[in-house]
Amino acid sequence: MHRSIGHSSVSRARRRAQATRSLRRIAALAVALVMAAALADAVPARAQTVDVPQSWISYAHRAGRQFQAWLEADGDPADRLHAYLEERVLNASAPPPAIVVRAWIGANGAVTRIEFASLGDAGADAALRQLLTAAPLTEPPPPDMLQPLRVRLRLAPNPDAPGATSGASARTP
């Protein structure tokens, strides 16, 4: 006889284990979105003497916060991306460069196209692409906004993470 309580306990334990793995990864490494130059990059050089409309800047910040939330979400794509990024940082002699993502956003808020230089791992590329295109943004871009929207992703230490302080140097003889 099948007991649903056992199945529920297993599912709950599995979800808790996944959440713990994700939280450890997020605690060890936060992905920060740097939007400062994103819109300036979207405006062609010949048009940069014109001020960027505030509606574009506001939209870029809202989109950036939503991308940030998607990158920090629980789930297999985020776990795969964070695992790759952690490994990349741990094995690098210098901080990794920013990842510049070009995103085209449709009139319905859907991210219709994403371009970025390969991260060097097909699985990480697929995870990043999946995370940024899986759902529409909560609102569409202003109708007159130039696209693509350029977003710079940078790895930044999470100040709330265990070991984020200089505690590691205390263990070095």
Please indicate, yes or no, if residue 4 is contained in any of the structural domains. no
In angstroms, the first-to-last Cα distance of the chain is 58
Please indicate, yes or no, if residue 172 is contained in any of the structural domains. no
Please indicate, yes or no, if residue 99 is contained in any of the structural domains. yes
Residue-range definition of the domain harbouring residue 120: 10-158
Of residues 37 and 9, more confidence is placed in 9
Q: Which of 71, 88, 140 is nearest to 112 (CA)?
A: 140
Q: What is the pTM of this model?
A: 0.66
Please indicate, yes or no, if residue 3 is contained in any of the structural domains. no
Q: Which residues contact 72 (CB under 8 A, 6 or more apart)?
A: 26, 30, 31, 78
Mean pLDDT of 133-161: 84
Give the chain's domain count.
Answer: 1
pLDDT tens, position by position, 148-157: 998 888 766 6
pLDDT tens, position by position, 72-126: 888 899 888 888 888 887 777 777 778 889 999 999 999 999 999 999 899 999 9
Of residues 88 and 146, more confidence is placed in 146
Please indicate, yes or no, if residue 168 is contained in any of the structural domains. no
Please indicate, yes or no, if residue 142 is contained in any of the structural domains. yes
Please report the pLDDT score of residue 31 as a whole number: 43
Please indicate, yes or no, if residue 138 is contained in any of the structural domains. yes
